[in-house]
Chains A and B, each alone.
Chain A
Amino acid sequence: MTSRSVILSLLASFLALVPSVLWAAAGSGAPLTQPEQIGWVHAPFEMGDCSLCHEHADAADPGALAAPVNDLCFGCHDQIADMMASLPELHGAAEDECTVCHNAHNARGNKLLIQEVPELCIECHDDVGTEATESAVQHDTVIEGRACLNCHNPHASSVEALLTQLPFDQCVDCHGSAGLLDDAGREMTDFRALLGAKPVLHGPVASKDCSACHHPHGGENFRLLTHEYPARFYATYEERNYALCFDCHEAERFVQERTTTLTGFRDGDKNLHFVHVNKDRRGRTCRACHDVHAAPQEHLIRDGVPYGSRGWMLEINFVPAANGGTCSRTCHPALSYDRTGAATP
């Protein structure tokens, strides 16, 4: 090996190390030194009071920390300490050390964060980052403004996944007023108004669990739905077309032609769900009769359903009876069903 190649090898090795050295400096909690990097300064550091946290008062050589990181931080930031002591859901990074996310001296980011949100969060939660930025359907609230902090508390919470509230309570912060438009300019549902007008709630809605059906970070389906769901009034019956509903509901009730146990929507033992839904081409999808969020009648039976390309509302006109019910002036003339009836062909 020539001396020139040795020098080049050493130079290459040094250059390879530089980024990691810089990263190490940035992630080590040491003070930033470049003014353009500094957006926030921690008051004790700004005052030169190194001995509040370190062994010595000498800024040139403050020595080691005088106590564990979190003990030092909680000495002043007692609200965070109280939260983490009293709430059941804790952020592992915060439990570990505050300096996982914060620089105790100065930082570019708000609140002494070593990076801005969501980039900081994506350092660990890269799968969420991918979902948020590369999904076919994206959720603006995840990547804009306060981003992750729109929904999550980075320290502790009473709700799983460090949500600041149950999903519905969070979602209606945006989806609870009129005038919210999607990317195509269509107005989205005002859920406060909807639920105010319709008393029968779908289970997940009653449980305030929007995430039962919607991916909050991003997804591949319309309206961030977790699974496919037929977009039209009619669809071929295939179980995968109804994957969203069958996540909880029993698919069996749509494949058995005769039953007295799987459904109350039957005429004798003739399964009317099967009749309506299980067809090769023009199966009526769930939306034909049921509203997915809330409805005026039991079983989420809707008043009417948009039909055709001009948005005409096809009324359902369902009237329940003790052992069945009747739909009239709808897809078909009045037809009734009676669970007590004799088995019908």
Chain B
Amino acid sequence: MTLACAFFPSLVSLVLAAGAACDAQNADPAGGLVEGETVANVELPTLAGDVAPLLGEEEAVSVFVFFKPEQEHSQSLLADVSDLQREFAGEPVHWAAVVSDRFDKARSADLFAELGLEIPLLFTSQDSLFGALDVALLPIVGITDRTHVLRAYLPYRKVNYAAAIAAHVRHVLGEISAEELAEVVSPHAVVQGGPNLEARRCLKFAQKLFESGRNEKALALALKSLERDSTLVEAHDLAGQILLVQEDFAAAALAFEKALALSPEDSTARAGLQACRGGP
């Protein structure tokens, strides 16, 4: 207890940024680790008995994972991390996992071996690091940038966890924008259908019929497409092309004019109109 009391304050002051209260041990841990703050790079014991840093010194991104070995969520996360590590192989990303030495070290090592996880496995003495950082939930993932500023602190979630971790890493690497990150973290609803879906389906069908020479049916479907969506330029173009083949030049010209009214740069309609007027 005395040793822990002696060690603990120094550990806490190491971990929390300058500006944290000197009495950090007893400060309100309501926030724990907070995005935007700097996480100091503590060194923690490894299975081999030496020490290793929590964060990378050279890498652009550091990802640390706090976990419990017998917990289903932790095992699921570590399996994801194993995949993510391969996904980011060759990129400047440092990975580390931390577990309390309350748990059997050999079990954690076995878990890593089962999952093919090749990242540093670090131990915190009797939850001291977790206590200092007020880690109330396990597992949890932290992502820092090159200067060790915490960019994301992600507790476990059942859906899209690996995708969210990967997206945050890519964002810190500068590979995706904030908008792209947001689309992963909080994706828009995937909607099937839409106002002109049926129009487009009719158009596609009409195109295939036209290609196989069934012009009457193709025209009927092109017109059906336009009933569903009169602004579908390609449907006007297709109707014009069919009418041109049928040598109904007046009707074909009308179709092409409608296409050009909607899309003045429509080259298909321009060429079609020219053909209607007997041009080359």
A binds B: yes
Residues of A within 8 A of B (CB): 43-44, 47, 49, 51-52, 75-80, 83, 87-88, 153, 155-161, 163-167, 169, 203-204, 207-209, 211-212, 247-250, 252-253, 259-262, 264, 298-299, 320, 322-323, 339-340
Selected contact of A252 from candidates B71, B102, B192, CB within 8 Å: B102
Selected contact of A250 from candidates B8, B29, B138, CB within 8 Å: B138
A52 B209 Cβ-Cβ under 8 A: yes
A323 B157 Cβ-Cβ under 8 A: no
Which residues of B are found within 8 Å of A262, using beta-carbon distances?
Answer: 127, 131
Which residues of B are found within 8 Å of A340, using beta-carbon distances?
Answer: 23, 26
Which residues of A are found within 8 Å of B68, using beta-carbon distances?
Answer: 250
Shortest CB distance B47–A (Å): 22
B217 A47 Cβ-Cβ under 8 A: yes
**With A211-B159, A212-B157 as given contacts, are A264 and B29 in contact (CB-CB < 8 Å)?**
yes
B137 A52 Cβ-Cβ under 8 A: no
Shortest CB distance B234–A (Å): 12
B197 A167 Cβ-Cβ under 8 A: no
Shortest CB distance A118–B (Å): 18
Instruction: Give the complex CA separation of A111 and B126 in angstroms.
Output: 59
B8 A76 Cβ-Cβ under 8 A: no
Which residues of B are found within 8 Å of A169, using beta-carbon distances?
Answer: 186, 189
B136 A249 Cβ-Cβ under 8 A: yes
B163 interface hit (Cβ, 8 Å)? yes
Residues of B within 8 A of A (CB): 4-5, 8, 23, 25-30, 68, 71-73, 102, 126-128, 130-132, 134, 136-138, 154-160, 163, 183-184, 186-192, 194, 197, 200-201, 204-205, 208-209, 212, 214, 217
Which residues of B are found within 8 Å of A164, using beta-carbon distances?
Answer: 189-191
Selected contact of A298 from candidates B4, B30, B128, CB within 8 Å: B30
A156 B190 Cβ-Cβ under 8 A: yes
B208 A52 Cβ-Cβ under 8 A: yes
Which residues of A are found within 8 Å of B186, using beta-carbon distances?
Answer: 166, 169, 208
Which residues of B are found within 8 Å of A157, using beta-carbon distances?
Answer: 190
Selected contact of A83 from candidates B130, B190, B208, CB within 8 Å: B190
A320 B25 Cβ-Cβ under 8 A: no
* Closest Cβ neighbor of A297 among chain B residues: B30
Instruction: Give the complex CA separation of A204 and B5 in angstroms.
Output: 34
* Closest Cβ neighbor of A343 among chain B residues: B1
Instruction: Give the complex CA separation of A249 and B217 in angstroms.
Output: 65
A323 B158 Cβ-Cβ under 8 A: no
Shortest CB distance B11–A (Å): 10
Which residues of B are found within 8 Å of A212, using beta-carbon distances?
Answer: 156-158
Instruction: Give the complex CA separation of A260 and B164 in angstroms.
Output: 33
Which residues of B are found within 8 Å of A249, using beta-carbon distances?
Answer: 136-137
A160 B201 Cβ-Cβ under 8 A: no
A320 B30 Cβ-Cβ under 8 A: yes
Instruction: Give the complex CA separation of A328 and B40 in angstroms.
Output: 38
Which residues of B are found within 8 Å of A320, using beta-carbon distances?
Answer: 28, 30
B209 A49 Cβ-Cβ under 8 A: yes
Instruction: Give the complex CA separation of A250 and B160 in angstroms.
Output: 23
Instruction: Give the complex CA separation of A261 and B186 in angstroms.
Output: 34
* Closest Cβ neighbor of A155 among chain B residues: B192
Instruction: Give the complex CA separation of A204 and B26 in angstroms.
Output: 27
B204 A78 Cβ-Cβ under 8 A: yes
Give the 7 A-B CB pairs with smallest separation, nearest first: A261-B131, A76-B204, A339-B26, A209-B157, A298-B30, A264-B29, A207-B157
* Closest Cβ neighbor of B137 among chain A residues: A248
Instruction: Give the complex CA separation of A208 and B187 in angstroms.
Output: 11
Instruction: Give the complex CA separation of A164 and B193 in angstroms.
Output: 13
* Closest Cβ neighbor of A74 among chain B residues: B204
Instruction: Give the complex CA separation of A300 and B180 in angstroms.
Output: 31
Shortest CB distance B175–A (Å): 16
Instruction: Give the complex CA separation of A166 and B71 in angstroms.
Output: 24
**With A76-B204, A248-B137, A261-B130 as given contacts, are A160 and B26 in contact (CB-CB < 8 Å)?**
no
Instruction: Give the complex CA separation of A78 and B204 in angstroms.
Output: 8
